[in-house]
């Protein structure tokens, strides 16, 4: 049995708990959160299993307990660096939820700390594991698909949900919307483009959401809409259209990828994929209905992707393999998001070098 500890038990922490409860061969042995209400939520999620779980108020106490083989970090973004400082170097595998941290500089510190870590360090970029996107990636990676030229990702959704103390209302805590929410999409862009980002252009604003909220006389400052264009070093271009006051949408996410031969359009919420070749035109477009992955026993809020991510992590642990979603993926997705936030602020395109430094 793999013994799991969960650090952070808000909404996403609860999804991890419920996913693990439904996976054979694992047990939750420890949970940590400084917030009593969040701990009580975790106890409710654990049900009768809580009798065999030790509860803590800090990641350090949990890590020092020796009760865990794997620790999942699901704390607010701005705490990731500090929490990982208490975990890295210990004899435990670690999964840290996205984003890796709130800035490239902080990610680099984590990267430096991880040099002495002997076990797996995995970044929770779950969108790779959404069944429709997994199938879409399979089609795109087929050699017959052709050379990818353009990637378009649309997310039209509802505003940010409330969090403990509403920490997610300020960019200083999240890294900004284009880091906090959109690192998922920048990770997908990089996977599909198979290149390194070199330039980011972005335009965005806070035009609708949270403007009537006050926290210690401060109005939230997180973007609620943006367009982001990313140029990659292999001449692939990618575009993100994010709107967080678009609840009246049938599909929350749509991912389109065009090669010199083929187009794939993945409609994530409905689980449909449109696949068409240039030679066949619009009449030859196939519709693929992606079925639920039969392995998934708990879907949660993300179409079962968290559950499937855990299966891959467990497989990597048991086979002594490397993390499939590694630190480089984590820092790259943050770098694109941070560059996009900077571009919005300055109104200028931002260059990204191979060390994820920025220039104009």
Name the token pair of 60.
């350090």
Give me the pLDDT at residue 351, please: 97
* Cα–Cα distance measured from residue 265 to residue 184, given in angstroms and rounded to the nearest whole number: 17
Give me the pLDDT at residue 138, please: 97
Domains of the chain: 2-125+311-325 (3.40.50.720), 128-296+330-359 (3.30.360.10)
pLDDT higher than threshold 80 for residue 181: yes
* Cα–Cα distance measured from residue 238 to residue 48, given in angstroms and rounded to the nearest whole number: 48
pLDDT in tens, 185-235: 999 999 999 999 999 999 999 999 999 999 999 999 999 999 999 999 999
CA distances for 182 relative to 132, 154, 211, 329, angstroms: 18, 11, 21, 13
Give me the pLDDT at residue 249, please: 92
Cβ–Cβ under 8 Å, residues 213 and 152: no
pLDDT higher than threshold 80 for residue 356: yes
pLDDT higher than threshold 80 for residue 262: yes
User: How many Cα neighbours within 13 Å face the side chain of 303?
Assistant: 20
pLDDT higher than threshold 80 for residue 269: yes
Mean of per-residue pLDDT scores for the chain: 96
pLDDT higher than threshold 80 for residue 313: yes
Give me the pLDDT at residue 358, please: 80
Percent of the chain beyond pLDDT 90?
Answer: 92
List, in sequence order, every beta strand (DSSP E) within 24-180: 26-32, 54-56, 70-73, 93-97, 121-124, 148-156
Give me the pLDDT at residue 261, please: 96
Residue 30's DSSP bridge partners are 5, 54
pLDDT higher than threshold 80 for residue 7: yes
Cβ–Cβ under 8 Å, residues 132 and 271: yes
pLDDT higher than threshold 80 for residue 23: yes
Cβ–Cβ under 8 Å, residues 357 and 198: no
- From the list 201, 229, 207, the residue with the least C-alpha distance to 344 is 201
List, in sequence order, every beta strand (DSSP E) within 210-285: 225-232, 237-243, 253-259, 262-267, 272-277
- How many residues appear in the chain? 360
What average pLDDT does the segment 263-283 reach?
94
Let me know if 212 is exposed, middle or buried by CB neighbors in 10 A (0-12, 13-18, 19+): exposed
What average pLDDT does the segment 323-328 reach?
96
pLDDT higher than threshold 90 for residue 32: yes
Name the token pair of 349.
């395109």
pLDDT higher than threshold 80 for residue 360: no
pLDDT higher than threshold 90 for residue 359: no
Give me the pLDDT at residue 301, please: 87
Q: Is 107 helix (H, G, I), strand (E, B) or coil?
A: helix
* Cα–Cα distance measured from residue 116 to residue 137, given in angstroms and rounded to the nearest whole number: 33
Cβ–Cβ under 8 Å, residues 178 and 229: no
Cβ contacts of 117 within 8 Å, gap of 6 or more: 88, 89, 94
What average pLDDT does the segment 230-256 reach?
97
Confidence band of 118 (pLDDT split at 50, 70, 90): very high
Rg (CA), the chain: 20
* Cα–Cα distance measured from residue 110 to residue 295, given in angstroms and rounded to the nearest whole number: 33
Give me the pLDDT at residue 3, please: 98
CA distances for 85 relative to 63, 82, 112, angstroms: 11, 5, 10
């Amino acid at each position: 049995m793999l013994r799991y500890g969960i650090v952070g038990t808000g909404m996403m922490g609860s999804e991890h708990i419920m996913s693990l409860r439904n996976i054979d061969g694992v047990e939750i042995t420890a949970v940590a959160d400084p917030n009593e209400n969040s701990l009580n939520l975790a106890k409710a999620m654990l049900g009768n299993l809580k009798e065999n779980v030790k509860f803590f108020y800090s990641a350090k106490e949990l890590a020092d307990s020796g009760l865990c083989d794997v620790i999942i970090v699901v704390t607010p973004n701005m705490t990731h660096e500090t929490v990982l400082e208490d975990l890295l170097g210990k004899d435990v595998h670690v999964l840290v939820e996205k984003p890796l941290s709130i800035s490239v500089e902080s990610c680099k510190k984590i990267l430096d700390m991880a040099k002495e870590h002997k076990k797996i360090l995995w970044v929770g970029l779950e969108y790779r594991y959404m069944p429709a996107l997994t199938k879409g990636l399979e089609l795109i990676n087929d050699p017959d698909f052709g050379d990818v030229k353009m990637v378009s990702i649309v997310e039209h959704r509802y505003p940010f949900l409330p969090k403990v103390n509403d920490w997610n209302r300020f960019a200083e805590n999240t890294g900004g919307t284009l880091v906090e929410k959109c690192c998922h999409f920048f990770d997908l862009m990089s996977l599909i483009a198979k290149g390194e980002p070199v330039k980011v252009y972005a335009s965005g604003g806070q035009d609708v959401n949270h403007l009537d909220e006050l926290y210690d006389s401060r109005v939230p400052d997180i973007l609620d809409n943006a367009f982001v264009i990313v140029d990659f070093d292999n001449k692939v271009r990618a575009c993100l259209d994010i709107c967080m006051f678009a609840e009246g949408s049938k599909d929350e996410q749509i991912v389109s990828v065009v090669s010199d031969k083929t187009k794939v359009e993945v409609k994530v919420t409905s689980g449909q994929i449109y696949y068409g070749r240039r030679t066949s035109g619009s009449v030859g477009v196939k519709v693929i209905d992606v079925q639920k992955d039969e392995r998934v026993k708990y879907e949660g809020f993300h179409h079962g992707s968290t559950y499937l991510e855990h299966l891959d992590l467990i497989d990597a642990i048991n086979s002594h393999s490397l993390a499939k979603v590694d630190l480089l993926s984590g820092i790259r997705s943050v770098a694109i998001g941070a560059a996009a936030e900077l571009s919005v602020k300055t109104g200028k395109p931002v260059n990204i070098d191979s060390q994820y430094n920025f220039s104009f």
